[in-house]
Structure 1
Amino acid sequence: MALQLLLAGISYAREPVSAVRYPVKITPEMLLGKKLFFEPLLSENRKTSCASCHLFSHGGSYPQAKTPMHNGNKSRYNSPSIFNLSQNYPLGWEGQLISMQEQMHSLVAKQAKMGLNWDNIENRLRQQPAYDAQFSRLYPEGITRETITQALVTYQLALTTPSAFDDFLQGDENAISEDAKLGYELFKRYGCASCHQGQKIGGNLLQKIGVIEPYAYDPDDSSHASLGRYNTTENEADIQVFRVPSLRNVAETPPYFHDGSVSTLEEVVTLMARHQLGREIPASDIDLIVAFLQSLSGSPHPTLMP
């Protein structure tokens, strides 16, 4: 164990994971975006906001397997966290979107989440004197779909969540437990970091679930969630290919996987080892890896919180 702890402290600069930080400055544009993110006027029923599906009390995600739409129907996929999106590429479980702007325009175009088109949204905001004045101060063109999108994206990109593990990465040896340090070493040695790396510890690759051992799925599922990227490309090679999720705040965001079918981190680690690595990890090692994953929890800057 002493050797493992020694290795845990070697060469932060060469680590596959890098630290995140709060925004250098909180801007008026971020604060306008924050107001819009929690604004129910953007939905048809005037009750649903962006925050309805991305709960800050649940790591920026949703606590059920599938997210409800404005009309009560369920979404195809488990709702991912809205935190730490700045270097996630591509976006969407199917990797079908290349920017947050595109994601937002796609959601509005489908009218599935909130039930309004851009004309409705713009008109509603223009009828609010406070919004009209705020947009006019920030944007010469005032309230348009582009400026609404810009404010919302600016806010969401500012929702970084520095954690105790980031303090450890930057040299504070006492920031996390010895179990978490050992868990991080195991996370790297088992090969988890080959897909979960970078600032977001994931979020930047497309990968098939079931690389070594096939992952069971139901081809008759009417939502087609189990087909993954195939839904976008119709390429058989993309069946069960998904965007690798970020692991930041993962301890706060159950249930897990694209379909929300797994409820604990212990089960997640067990299944990922089996299907992606072809290994059965001892329970003691799983506990250490989970301790590492728990050290990745953090919150956005206090000014950007609800």
Structure 2
Amino acid sequence: MALQLLLAGLSHAREPLAPIQLPQTVTPEMLLGKQLFFDQTLSADSKTNCASCHLFNHGGSYPKDKTPMHDGSKSRYNSPSIFNLSQNYPLGWEGQLISMQEQMHSLVDQQVKMGLSWSTIETRLQQQPEYVERFAKLYPQGITRETITQALVTYEIALTTPAPFDAYLLGDTNAISEDAKLGYELFKRYGCVSCHQGEKIGGNLLQKIGVIEPYAYDPDDSSLASLGRYNTTGNKADIQVFRVPSLRNVADTPPYFHDGSVSTLEQVVSLMSRHQLGREIPETDIKLIVAFLNSLSGSPHPKLMP
């Protein structure tokens, strides 16, 4: 244990994880995006907004296994966090989207989340003098689907959540507990960083769930969620391939996995070790790794909060 703590206190220059920061300046464009993000008039029932599926008091995600659609049905997948999206590539559980702009257009074009077309959204905003004035100050073209998307994406990119672990990476050895330090060393030793690395501690590659031990799934699942990227490519090699999620704020975002089928981080670590690593991790090590995962929770800039 003493050796582990010594290693944890060494220079972080070669660490597989990198710290993030809050935006240095909160711009008018971010604030316009914030207003749009929380505006219920941009939904068919005028009761739903972007935050309805991305709760800020739940790590930017949704507290149930699937998010509700405009028509009352459920989404195919568990809702991922809206926080720390910059540099996440690709996007979507199936890795089917190449940019946040494309994701935004996909959501509106399908009309399943908010129930409105772009033309209706544009019209509703153009009928509100405050929006007309705010858009005119930022965009010469005024209110269009492109400028609406730009404002929303600018806001979402700004939703970074520096955590105690970031302070630790930057040299504050007292920022996290001794258990969290040990958990981080175990996280690296067990190889979790092979998929969860960088600033977002994941979110930047696609991987099959069940690399070593096959991960059971229900072939009769009508949502087809268990098929993963196969739904996008039709390639059998992509069955059960998913985008690796970021682990930032992971302690705040249960339930877990693409289908929201796992309720605790302890279960997540145990299942991942079995299916991805082909081994059982001792309970004591699982608790330490979970302590590390808890140190990854932070909040966006206060001016960007609800």
Which residue is 1:84 aligned to? 84
Distance 2:271 2:87 in 1: 26
> Structure 1, residues 66-111: CA drift from partner, whole Å, max 9, x if none?
0001221100000000000001000000000000000000011100
Deviation of 1:11 after TM superposition, in Å, equals 2.3
Q: Which runs of 4+ in 1 moved over 3 A?
A: none
1:162 aligns with 2:162: yes
Distance 2:11 2:200 in 1: 19
Identity of aligned residues (%): 80
Deviation of 1:213 after TM superposition, in Å, equals 0.1
Report the TM-score, using the length of structure 2 for normalisation. Answer: 1.00
Distance 2:13 2:84 in 1: 21
1:18 aligns with 2:28: no
Alignment of 1:19-38 (within 5 A): 19-38=19-38
Which residue is 2:58 aligned to? 58
Distance 1:20 1:193 in 2: 17
1:172 aligns with 2:176: no
Which 5+ residue runs of structure 1 have no aligned equivalent? none
Which residue is 1:7 aligned to? 7
Which 5+ residue runs of structure 2 have no aligned equivalent? none
Alignment of 1:118-157 (within 5 A): 118-157=118-157
Distance 2:242 2:262 in 1: 16
Which residue is 2:196 aligned to? 196
The amino acid across from 2:301 in the alignment is H
Aligned residues: 306
Distance 1:101 1:144 in 2: 13
> Structure 1, residues 48-71: CA drift from partner, whole Å, max 9, x if none?
000000000000000000000122
Which residue is 2:48 aligned to? 48
> Structure 1, residues 246-299: CA drift from partner, whole Å, max 9, x if none?
000000000000000000000000000000000100000000000000000000
The amino acid across from 1:89 in the alignment is Y
Distance 2:208 2:304 in 1: 35
The amino acid across from 2:114 in the alignment is M
Which residue is 2:227 aligned to? 227
Superposed CA RMSD: 0.4
The amino acid across from 1:268 in the alignment is V
Secondary structure at 1:12's aligned position in 2? coil
